[in-house]
Amino acid sequence: MQPFTRRVIEIIKAIPEGSVMTYGQIARQAGSPRAARQVVRILHSMSRAHQLPWHRVVNAKGEIALQEPESKLMQELFLREEGIELTADGRIDLGKYRHEPGFDDP
């Protein structure tokens, strides 16, 4: 496993319940600020094997990025079960729920 991949997995596992991080935040924290899409691929291919809390990762606008309706609803349900509120247009208030382990996301 590549060091970047290992670090991404560690970061995602460390997102506390009731908080979210963005793909870009995770990429920066893992040492590759322009690798948000790689974070998406890691989540897609390794969430089950590493028991990642995939539902705690959203895009930079605080939106659920999944396109498949059933998966999107599942992520929304998991977030709500952790106490995360979504706005009427389906966004998460990153100012309120973003986990910030020592860095900022633009």
| pLDDT above 80 for 106 | no
Q: Go through the domains of the chain in sequence order and give each one's CATH number.
A: 3-97 (1.10.10.10)
pTM: 0.89
Residue for token pair 């691929």? 41
Residue type, 28: R
What span, in angstroms and rounded, lies between the C-alpha atoms of 29 and 33?
8
Tens digit of each residue's pLDDT (9 = 90 or more) over 27-71: 999 999 999 999 999 999 999 999 999 999 999 999 999 889 999
